Structure 1
């Protein structure tokens, strides 16, 4: 999956939970879910569950703890799809 396609898919997944529209409009690999998009921790769990469903993968607890930015989410999804 191309980087741009992956970012677009992640953007669609996080959109319902975003509290900072300006940060969402400028979403990039460096965007953080909690700091930039103002997604609260309960909704971050929902984002992770939605990512699992969208990509048909299973994200382990250790990986969930690392999934705090778009870049981290991309790395986890990419490695899961590859394996």
Structure 2
């Protein structure tokens, strides 16, 4: 399963915009397109940490505004853990 599919499952409980979620792509903006508020964004980050077994610092969390940026942070953290 790809990271984007995992993200879709993680985000599902936090957005009411199911159409945008179904059409999720790397260009999807979590706040604007999926109407996720900053409190829910923190919940998503915690769920991502749990799902992937990574720790996301504040600087990385602040980058996680689009799907593409979120995937990049996840991949970076996974690579750090693998090293």
Same fold (TM over 0.5): yes
Gaps spanning 5+ residues in structure 2: where? none
Q: Is residue 20 of structure 2 the alignment partner of residue 20 of structure 1?
A: no
Q: CA deviation at 1:25?
A: 1.0
Q: What is the aligned residue count?
A: 80
Q: What's the TM-score once normalised by structure 2's chain length?
A: 0.92
Q: What's the TM-score once normalised by structure 1's chain length?
A: 0.92
After TM superposition, what 4+ stretches of structure 1 lie above 3 angstroms from structure 2? none
Q: CA deviation at 1:66?
A: 0.7
Matching residue within 70, 75, 78 for 2:75: 78
Q: CA deviation at 1:7?
A: 0.5
Question: What residue number does 2:62 align with?
Answer: 65
Q: Is residue 36 of structure 2 the alignment partner of residue 39 of structure 1?
A: yes
Cα separation, 2, equivalents of 1:76 and 1:65: 10
Gaps spanning 5+ residues in structure 1: where? none
Q: Is residue 22 of structure 2 the alignment partner of residue 29 of structure 1?
A: no
